[in-house]
Amino acid sequence: MKIPSHHATTAHLGAIFPFFSENHMLAKSVVIGSNLFGGTFCFDPFEMYANGVISNPNMVVFGQIGMGKSSFIKTYLFRQSIFGRKAWIIDPKGEYSQLAVALNCQPIILRPNGRIKLNPLELGTSDLLVALVESGMKRGLRPIERAGMDISLSIAKAKAKDANLHHATLPMVLNELLDPNESFSSSLFIDQGELKKEIKEIALELRRMVSGDLRGMFDGPTSRGVTPKAKCVVIDLSNLYSSHSLSAVMACATSWLQSEMIERERDGGLFMVIDEAWAVLEDIGVSKWLQKSFKLARSYGVSNIAVMHRFSDLLSGGESGSVQEKLG
């Protein structure tokens, strides 16, 4: 008796291959879909990190337009909320507002000259300032410029303390850069007039955030009542999605969240989502700053999620061997 042959794809044959069975899912994991064997596929970076399965909890999600990557992220974060996880989201296209509402939160909508401001200097370091200026000037800072940025921030922080302010602001730093005093110049062993010329370019670039096309979003203390204490924080940047300064705006918003991240209570895992991450990766100054920030994730119980269209987005900022490629 001749039995007719059976034709099947490798995907189906994999399901009936003998001696294989699905792994048991972790007790505290979120369902994502089904695996090759027809069983449940679950993934939780915090549980896997705690069990030594992965070396860090950060994630990258790839998907072409219309393939459902945003839907996946929103569903994943909503399910994670059941386990007490929180989500902070940088939303360049305004796609996560419904998730915020579903979790009884209101998105933070930023726009030039809008009613809401975030202070990106609450973190208290000059790294963001350097990234913003390098982003605008498309070059690295010279030693005198970097030193000038550090000292101007230190002076601004001291003046903020004298004025009973919690944090320095961008306008305060800008004032020190535009008009460095004698103490400022003497600390660098340079003539006051010469110092003013040396740091004028970085001062003018930073001015954009204060009185230029990006004014009214990051040029003062954080607006009263704006806090990331809720289950979900969505920073809606859709009003600036077409701006050439999108990467700088995303960096400022992320910096504000990171300052809150450090001070938050460790009452569960936190997801920090950066959608349209290609906008950051194509900018060398902001990329370097973000890479440094991502490395701090494990110590603060944070899983960073970068959302991109394709693998080539990792190379969008530079050619083979470039700094951008290495950062990606």
Exposure string of 16-47, with b = 16+ CB inside 10 Å and e = fewer, is eeeeeeeeebbeebbeeeeeeeeeeebbbbbb
Type of residue at 320: S
**Contact of 69 with 305, CB cutoff 8 Å:** no
Q: Please state, in angstroms and rounded to a whole number, the distance separating the CA atoms of residues 117 and 288.
A: 25
With a cut of 50, say whether residue 320 has pLDDT above it. Answer: no
In terms of Cα–Cα distance, which of 27, 23, 20 is closest to 41? 23
pTM above threshold 0.85:
no
pLDDT band at 322 (very low <50, low <70, confident <90, very high): very low
* Number of Cβ atoms within 10 Å of the Cβ of 198: 19
Q: How far apart are CA 292 and CA 88, in angstroms?
A: 18
Burial class, 116, CB count within 10 angstroms (exposed 0-12 / middle 13-18 / buried 19+): middle
pLDDT of residue 117: 92
State pLDDT tens for residues 111-121. Answer: 998 889 999 99
Mean pLDDT of the chain: 82
How far apart are the C-alpha atoms of 128 and 136, rounded to whole Å?
Answer: 12
Distance of CA 87 to the CA centre of its chain: 12
User: Which has the closest alpha carbon to 148: 101, 112, 102, 200?
Assistant: 200
Q: Which residues lie across from 31 on neighbouring strands?
A: 42
Q: Of 180, 160, 161, 162, nearest to 170 (Cα)?
A: 160
Residue 43 pLDDT > 70: yes
What digits encode the pLDDT tens for the residues 116-150? 999 999 888 888 898 888 888 888 899 999 999 99
**Cβ atoms within 10 A of the Cβ of 64, count?**
9
pLDDT in tens, 198-255: 999 999 999 988 887 888 899 889 998 887 777 889 999 999 888 888 888 888 888 8
Residue 2: the pLDDT is 72
pLDDT tens digits for range 151-208: 999 999 999 999 998 899 999 999 999 999 989 999 999 999 999 999 999 999 999 8
- The answer, yes or no, to whether residue 19 has pLDDT greater than 80, is no
pLDDT at residue 297 tops 70: no
Q: Beta strands of 92-217 (E only): which ranges?
A: 108-109
In the chain, how long is the greatest CA-to-CA distance?
102
pLDDT computed for residue 83 by the predictor: 85
Q: For residue 234, what are the β-bridge partners?
A: 89
Helix (H) / strand (E) element for 60: namely strand 59-62
Angle, alpha carbons 116-119-125 (nearest 5°): 165
DSSP letters along 192-257, please? HHHHHHHTHHHHHHHHHHHHSTTTTSSSSSPPTT--S-SSEEEEE-GGGTT-TTHHHHHHHHHHHH
- Quick one: pLDDT at residue 263? 67
Q: What's the pLDDT at 168?
A: 93
Picking from 77-86, 235-244, 275-284, which range would have the lowest pLDDT averaged per residue? 275-284
Q: Would you say 236 and 105 are in contact if contact means Cβ atoms under 8 Å apart?
A: no
89-106, pLDDT tens digit by residue?
999 989 999 999 999 988
β-strands 40-43, 59-62 pairing = unpaired
For domain 56-118+222-328, the CATH class is alpha beta
Residue 10 above 70 pLDDT?
no
pLDDT at 271 over 50: yes
Question: In which band, very low, low, confident or very high, does the pLDDT at 16 lie, cut at 50, 70 and 90?
Answer: low
- List, by residue range, all CATH 3.40.50.300 domains of the chain: 56-118+222-328
Beta bridge partners of 61: 307
Percent of the chain at pLDDT above 70? 84
Q: Percent of the chain having pLDDT more than 90?
A: 28
- Measure the CA–CA gap between 199 and 320, rounded to whole angstroms: 32
What is the C-alpha separation between 51 and 193, in angstroms, rounded?
59
More confident: 285 or 171 = 171
